[in-house]
Amino acid sequence: MDTGRNRGPPAMGVQVESVSPAELYEVVVGACSQDISRIQASSTRLKDMLDMFGTYDALQEIASRRNFPLSVRQQAIIQFKNAVVSHWRSRKLLSDEHRARIRQRCLMFVDEEDDTIAECNEVVVAKLARSDYPSQWPGLISDLVTLIDGLLQQRYISMIQDPHDTLRLRRSLRLLKCIVKELSSIKLLNGIRAMAQTVEQLRTPLKNYYATMSNTFSAGNINIDSLASQSTYDNILLSHLVYKCLTRMDVWVWNKMGRSSQPLSPEERARNLASVEELFQNCAAQIKQLMSMRKDIMLSVKQQNLLTNPQVQRTVSILTRHLRTYGKYFRRLQQLSQERFVALPGSGELIMLYWSQIIESTNHDQSDIADSDEALYPVRFLVQGMVLFKDSLSQFTPVKRNGTPNANTLSEEFVQNAIRVLISRFMCLNTGDLENWMADPEEWVNVEEKENDQWEYEIRACSERVLVQLCNQFSDIVVPLLAATFQQIGRKSFSMILNVYRSSLKMIAQPPADLNAVVQKEALYCAIGRCALRLKNVIQLDTWLNGPFNNEAHDSNPTYPIIKRRIAWLIGKWVSDDCLHPSNTKIWDILVHLLQDRGAGSDAVVRLTAATALRECVDSTGFDANVLAPYLMTTVTNLIGLIGEADTLESKRKVDQTLNTVIEQSGMLSPFLNFAVKENSTPLGPLVVPLVRDSLSPQLDVDALKLWESALRNTASVASINGNACLRDLFPTALELVATNLDLLGTVTSIIESYFILDAEYILRTSAKDVFLAFRSAFSNKLVDINAKDLIQALNLLIQVSTSDMWGEAMHTSGLFAQLLKVLITGEADTLLLTEHIYLFSRMTMSDKNMFLQLMSASAPLLNQQETKLYDLLLDQWWGKFDNMSEPRHRKITAMGIAALVSSGRPEVLQRLPGEIFNLWMDVFGELKEAQEQASLHNEQAGSEPPSPGGLVRFWELDAVPSSYWADTEGTPEYERRQALYNKDPIRVIPLVGYVGAQLREAEQIIGGAEMQRCLSTTDPTVLKQVQDTLARG
């Protein structure tokens, strides 16, 4: 490679290294290697080189060299495509010469044989055109047009078909298509101007091109023999590319005409409208011929079995795609402005043309309608026609919007026939639907419930929307028809009611005896559900609940899951649309039966649909929890079981939503949990544990944690009964969530606290180190600050409910104590968080000061500090953060904790006794004295009993417990457990004065009376006397 072409970067700003093209080539070669280590090294180096001056120019140069290995060229163009656009304006990485060479080189790829390289180049050209055309790349369009024009002249005028020239023409047209598409998406003024310039430049020549090119595959020039010709395929493909450019510009102009923010002059609007109308009318005429030609071709292809020929298959496929592009063009015009679309000359005839194709398709076998380019009637083609028909129905109503009669209306016979076709042919479950149902029931249900997103692409869902629109626009015809048909079920045949249609739905109204009759009836039920709002005043669905629906829901016919699924859907639809009141108990009889039925006449699809219908009914207006109450336990139990049976996350999520809605809307969460966890605690594990396990995944985890938390708060025990699954089994999962799931850490910490209160001894005996490792992992994350306080409080609770022999060793071996100590002594965390550390350490020293001393000693080497220094830093924080403690109970635990440290006799502690520690104690002693006086005064005024001994208990009773302590457990057994812990908390029940006196005496025993006197000798006499007097009074 020429290494001299890359000049150094401009001598300004930040200096960057210039790339070596030779090295870059070797790195790209290495990235294509089969050697994993070489790939990794090359990938790392390539990432660095992308920040070098000249790299992008060199990458494109590598990709353009035809003598280089194809894999190397592909790797180079992919790397170039992925990064060049975002760095295109960087003067550190590209010079103006680089950009000019890259633009010039882009057009050299028009004869590229490899599709990957060509497609990457198309992306680059389109993106660069967005920023550079026309200011920096003025010749882009004109150069392409010149090239295309010459190639078209040679192919279609001179009739010279050279494969190489065909490749160049195809690449050039694809480039033009990508450029036009990119420019048409620009919203800024400069981009709009660029697109307007492009339209003016290309509109006329492209129309002329297409007029000439499309003749090559007209009915007179294409036949069954020419389908296997590469030339025929190329002619259709090239015309297809030109047509896409042309319609993209036309749609842009159409959209621009409708923008009030950018009004056009009358002359420009008239010119643009004339251009759009001209293309529209030409396309409307051409598609009629194209539809007819393709149908004749496909009938011959099918008769002669020519699709086994790959070239015929390719030709048919591109012809079908070209036909669909017409429909996309019409649909886009309609989407942008229905009102202007219906005003286009010939739009009504076009809509009826498409509808005629839909009607004609019903005269053929179902196998001729498929989602395939090779089908006689491709599904997507028919759906295009349905969508166009649906959104144009308003122009055919008997009365226009302005109230005047409409001469161009649809007859009653036409509407009735449309209803017949939709219900009898397109709304029925076909063989493919039923096969998918049987192969993967859960996926089938999930796809069905996503119909709102897919209705413009799926023929059954689309036909349902067309039915609804017909019902809305022609309700005087459709409503009586549907109502009469529905009412006659069980007495007369559907064909008798719809005899004007010459219906093929024979015997649908009678009990279905075969699969065809079942799917026909299912389609009718679907129609009734879709048109619920129009039918609610003419159909009394309540009576159906006690009759046909109830009978069919309990029928064991093996084909009846089809009917049962639709009955569940229909009930949910009518209730959610306020067409059926949820107070009717038969609703719940049927839905709960369908939810729990596992007989031959039911399956997973029925149960999942029933679960969704239950949610819709429970979440509806007018829902009365008392009506559901008798079914609540059965419903909840079966929903939990259904979650366990479901294989997919989506299915579990939907059933879980129903479960939550049922429990929340019924207002019976606590009764349900109380029932499950008190005298009937045995069912809790088998019910809740699998539910939580199955639901702990993204999208479901919040709901699972809510149930988990509620179960723990309401249970009496987490241990197993009779070997069944129990809440204790879930504790390892809770630890995993503490360590890894920051998003839900608040709720998980609450769950951990519940476990500590219920099962601390078992937890610490079996998994103490795992507990502390999980907490350490959580604390190690920089994002944990918001939940760190809760975690410390959970540890505080654990220390309160256990003994040091359970947690001491694990606190050290896990590294958690050293980590907590480091946070405190460095003092860099939030002040409130640091005070929580002090409360925890106070609790630990009160529990076992010797264990605390051992932990301090063991942490010194881990923190690379002398033990004496650690104590000094610890005590600095202990005293320094005391003024930040506002709650009396926190100040008391801090005073008791430092007293426990004093009793150890550690010199680092005792040397602070005369100053900081005495001052700390005197502050708390003063608060206690004031509280005692207030309590005595209150008792005297109230004539009540004298205050409790020392006034301490009375003081803490007056000091309200913060609501955060109860953690929203009011009304649950856990509230009582927390109340019991609070009542026997040493901080609450042990008098501070007596406790401090005992700790001082213990320290004196350790160090001796003489040494104690020496420690106290430096104390301010006044302070010392106050301390002694307070301790003497007890």
CA distances from 676 to 496, 587, 683, 686 (A): 55, 26, 6, 10
Tell me if the pTM is above 0.85: no
Q: Which two tokens stand for residue 459?
A: 């023929």
Please tell me whether residue 378 adopts helix, strand or coil conformation. strand
Burial (CB count <10 Å: 0-12, 13-18, 19+), residue 443: middle
For residues 391-413, average pLDDT: 84
CA distances from 622 to 343, 574, 581, 583, 618 (A): 45, 13, 7, 8, 9
| Cα separation, 884 vs 882, whole angstroms | 5
Please count the residues of the chain: 1034
The residue to which tokens 């026609």 are assigned: 385
Q: Which two tokens stand for residue 562?
A: 């089809």
Q: For residue 259, give the amino acid letter.
A: R
Closest CA to 913 of 998, 1031, 1024: 1024
Lowest-confidence range among 43-57, 410-424, 495-509, 825-839?
495-509
| Cα separation, 778 vs 784, whole angstroms | 7
pLDDT digits (tens, 9 = 90+) for 849-878: 999 999 999 999 999 999 999 999 999 999
**Which residues, in sequence order, are CB contacts of 175 under 8 Å at separation 6+?**
107, 110, 121, 122, 125, 144
pLDDT digits (tens, 9 = 90+) for 124-147: 999 999 999 999 999 999 999 999
pLDDT digits (tens, 9 = 90+) for 2-25: 444 445 555 444 567 999 999 999
Instruction: Quickly state the pLDDT bin for 498 (edges 50, 70, 90).
Output: very low
Give, in degrees to the nearest 5, the angle at Cα 886 between 885 and 892: 70
Q: Which two tokens stand for residue 87?
A: 């760095």
Count the Cβ atoms, other than its own, within 10 Å of residue 711. Answer: 24
Closest CA to 177 of 245, 120, 109: 245
Helix, strand, coil distribution of the chain in percent, nearest 5:
75, 0, 25
Q: Which two tokens stand for residue 257?
A: 């005409």
Please tell me whether residue 972 adopts helix, strand or coil conformation. coil
Please tell me whether residue 53 adopts helix, strand or coil conformation. strand
Cis peptide before 134 (omega within 30 of 0): yes
The residue to which tokens 């656009």 are assigned: 85
Do residues 233 and 221 lie in contact, with contact meaning Cβ atoms separated by under 8 Å? no
**pLDDT at position 799:** 96
- When the pLDDT of each residue in the chain is averaged and rounded to a whole number, the result is 88
Q: Is the dihedral of CA 83, 85, 89, 91 positive or negative?
A: positive
| Cα separation, 379 vs 372, whole angstroms | 7
For residues 930-958, average pLDDT: 52
Q: Which two tokens stand for residue 73?
A: 């060229």
The residue to which tokens 């005429």 are assigned: 285
The residue to which tokens 């598609």 are assigned: 287
Closest CA to 463 of 530, 517, 519: 530
Please tell me whether residue 35 adopts helix, strand or coil conformation. coil
Q: Which two tokens stand for residue 183?
A: 């420019």
For residues 92-108, average pLDDT: 96
For residues 78-95, average pLDDT: 94
Lowest-confidence range among 313-317, 451-455, 1008-1012?
451-455
450: phi then psi, degrees, rounded to nearest 5: -100, 15
Do residues 380 and 457 lie in contact, with contact meaning Cβ atoms separated by under 8 Å? yes
Closest CA to 527 of 453, 414, 427: 427
| Cα separation, 824 vs 840, whole angstroms | 11
**pLDDT at position 940:** 59
Helix and strand counts by DSSP (H, E) for the chain: 53, 2
Share of residues in the chain with pLDDT > 70 (%): 89
Lowest-confidence range among 187-201, 505-519, 546-560?
505-519
Residue 167 has pLDDT above 90, yes or no: yes
378: phi then psi, degrees, rounded to nearest 5: -60, 140
For the CA atoms of the chain, what is the radius of gyration?
40
Please tell me whether residue 18 adopts helix, strand or coil conformation. strand
Do residues 835 and 885 lie in contact, with contact meaning Cβ atoms separated by under 8 Å? yes
Element containing residue 60 per DSSP (H, E): helix 55-64
Concatenated DSSP letters of 741-776: -STTHHHHHHHHHHHHHHHHHHHHHHHHHHHHHHHH
| Cα separation, 776 vs 780, whole angstroms | 6
| Cα separation, 877 vs 823, whole angstroms | 11
Q: For residue 386, give the amino acid letter.
A: M
Closest CA to 522 of 424, 419, 416, 428: 428
Q: Which two tokens stand for residue 140?
A: 């882009």
Closest CA to 726 of 765, 688, 679: 688
**pLDDT at position 741:** 80
| Cα separation, 77 vs 80, whole angstroms | 5
**Which residues, in sequence order, are CB contacts of 40 under 8 Å at separation 6+?**
none
pLDDT digits (tens, 9 = 90+) for 535-591: 988 888 888 898 889 999 999 999 999 999 999 999 999 999 999 999 999 999 999
| Cα separation, 737 vs 746, whole angstroms | 11
**Which residues, in sequence order, are CB contacts of 789 under 8 Å at separation 6+?**
832, 833, 836
| Cα separation, 693 vs 701, whole angstroms | 9
Residue 374 has pLDDT above 90, yes or no: yes
- The string over 763-778, giving b where at least 16 C-beta atoms fall within 10 Å of a residue's C-beta and e elsewhere, is bbeebbbbbbbbbbbb
Pairing status of strand 369-370 against strand 377-378: parallel
18: phi then psi, degrees, rounded to nearest 5: -85, 145
**pLDDT at position 543:** 83
Count the Cβ atoms, other than its own, within 10 Å of residue 421. Answer: 19
Q: Which two tokens stand for residue 532?
A: 């619920």
CA distances from 600 to 78, 434, 545, 558 (A): 56, 17, 22, 6
| Cα separation, 362 vs 350, whole angstroms | 19
| Cα separation, 219 vs 293, whole angstroms | 6
**Which residues, in sequence order, are CB contacts of 125 under 8 Å at separation 6+?**
106, 107, 140, 175, 178, 179
What letter does residue 392 receive in the DSSP assignment?
T
| Cα separation, 785 vs 767, whole angstroms | 25
For residues 671-691, average pLDDT: 53
